[in-house]
Amino acid sequence: MTKAKIIGTGSCLPPKVVTNDDLAKLVETSDAWIRERTGILERRVSDAATATSDLALAATEKALKAAKTDPAEIELVIVCTTTPDMLFPSVGCILQDKLKMVNAAAFDLSAACSGFNFGLSTAASFIETGKCKKALLVGADTLTKYLDWTDRGTCILFGDGAGAVILGSAEKEEGVLASLIMSEGHLGSVLTMPGGGSRDPEQKNGRFIRMNGREVFKFAVRVLESSVRKVLEMAGKAPSDIDLLVPHQANIRIIDHVSKKMGLPKEKVYVNLQKYGNTSAASVPIALDEALAEGRIKSGDLIVLSGFGAGLTYGANLIKW
Ligand code: ACO
């Protein structure tokens, strides 16, 4: 059966850097606390004039160039985001228009920090079933626009960014070998952005992220390990076969805990959260793009991408590069 294969990547981060010391001027926190409890040293914050589609566009242009792909060849555009420019049109349609991807169906996918893994599973299915030959998949978010800068439990964690990949088809046993996506809606209340939807269009409940950090932490540790193990099992592989794990970049303690339990040495786990914090749906494709640029991935390597987030949701994809 045809497999879906990543043939180009790109990413974009807004230029403004906000350090932990900058945040210590806003809330009762310190650089030492944030480093120790999260591993984050700084994050990027977009300015008022920059919307999610602006970052997505810059990341997509780089990915198209890397994949040597003309926009007209793209038949499917999926933008994974929970911070679209507006309720509609979708960021996918905005990108389609700006890049003249005239032969594509375009839509947004909402699975928060799991978005890219949900999107990869979806886009891969389109390619595997022959519904399209080339797809654009973007993870892009500007969560800093929805942070309560007086809440030290959330404002220290997040940053903005976008990552994009172009998917093509592979005839041999390579590309996305196995894919797992799952939701646990009964845990939805531990991570919410209640204002602004149809239940509260006037945002009487506020327009900010609300999170029970400890509960999200427990969930993340559980599902990160189980989903990586499951996706490996689906392809008859073991943790020792992994060449690089690219996990959602939320908290170094979550990543270290799971890596240790799975017997993965540090050099087999990609981490860049110290520079960007949690960029939500963008975190995995940005990490993938940087891992490639740093030469951490070579042809034939077995890569696992994984994510977890609001919903609550989680997902993992096993890729032979
Ligand atoms: N600076 C200083 N002290 C703080 C801060 C801060 N920024 N934040 C919390 N504290 C305090 C708390 O008030 C608490 O004090 P107390 O003991 O006097 O009550 C103490 O530190 C410990 O608080 P915890 O919440 O237990 O701290 P924890 O070690 O769990 O770290 C954190 C908090 C970093 C939020 C952690 O729970 C975490 O990373 N959770 C997962 C978050 C996550 O991954 N979210 C993903 C979102 S994905 C998406 O879809 C958007």
**What CATH architecture is 176-320?**
3-Layer(aba) Sandwich (3.40)
Q: What is the CA radius of gyration of the chain?
A: 18
Mean local confidence (pLDDT), 25-38: 97
Domains 4-172 and 176-320 share a fold: yes
Parallel, antiparallel, or unpaired for β 160-170 and 105-109? unpaired
Calpha distance 63→318 (Å, rounded): 20
For 47-132, where are the E strands, in sequence order?
76-80, 105-109
Mean local confidence (pLDDT), 13-26: 98
Q: Which among 113, 155, 251, 317 is annotated as catalytic?
A: 113
The sign of the torsion formed by the CA atoms of 225, 227, 230, 231 equals: negative
State the fold for domain 4-172: Peroxisomal Thiolase; Chain A, domain 1 (3.40.47)
C-beta 257 within 6 A of ligand 1: no
In eight-state DSSP terms, residue 247 is E
157-183 as b/e, with b when 16 or more CB fall inside 10 Å? Answer: bbbbbbbbbbbbbbeeeebbbbbbbbe
Q: In this predicted model, what pLDDT tens digit does every residue of 139-168 receive, in sequence order?
A: 999 999 999 999 999 999 999 999 999 999
Residue 1's pLDDT band (cuts 50, 70, 90): confident
Q: In this predicted model, what pLDDT tens digit does every residue of 212-257 receive, in sequence order?
A: 999 999 999 999 999 999 999 999 999 999 999 999 999 999 999 9
What is the reported pLDDT for 70? Answer: 98
What Cα–Cα distance (Å) separates residue 177 from each residue in 6, 74, 172, 173, 242? 12, 22, 11, 8, 13
Whether the upstream peptide bond of residue 285 has omega within 30° of 0, thus cis, is: no
Residue 204 pLDDT > 90, yes or no? no
**303 Cα: distance to centroid of ligand 1 (angstroms):** 30
C-beta 250 within 6 A of ligand 1: yes
Residue 264's pLDDT band (cuts 50, 70, 90): very high
C-beta 309 within 6 A of ligand 1: yes
**1 Cα: distance to centroid of ligand 1 (angstroms):** 45
**Cβ distance 139 to 317 under 8 Å?**
no
Calpha distance 227→78 (Å, rounded): 23
Residue 187's pLDDT band (cuts 50, 70, 90): very high
Residue 15 pLDDT > 90, yes or no? yes
Please report, for the chain, the start and end positions of each structural domain, with discontinuous segments joined by +: 4-172, 176-320
Q: What angle do CA 107, 182, 76 make, to 5 degrees?
A: 20
pTM equals 0.97
Looking at ligand 1, which residue's alpha carbon is closest to its atom 35? 213
Mean of pLDDT over the chain: 97
Q: In this predicted model, what pLDDT tens digit does every residue of 74-116 receive, in sequence order?
A: 999 999 999 999 999 999 999 999 999 999 999 999 999 999 9
Mean local confidence (pLDDT), 61-72: 98
Active-site residue 186, yes or no? no
Nearest to 27 by CA among 116, 121, 149: 149
The whole-angstrom distance between residue 44's C-alpha and the CA centroid of its chain comes to 15
Residue 279 pLDDT > 90, yes or no? yes
The tokens describing 133, both together, are: 């030959």
What is the reported pLDDT for 136? Answer: 98
Residue 310 CA: nearest ligand 1 atom is 50
**34 Cα: distance to centroid of ligand 1 (angstroms):** 9
**110 Cα: distance to centroid of ligand 1 (angstroms):** 24
Active-site residue 278, yes or no? yes
Which of 145, 149, 210, 214 for a ligand 1 pocket mutation test, highest count of atoms within 8 Å of Cβ?
Answer: 214
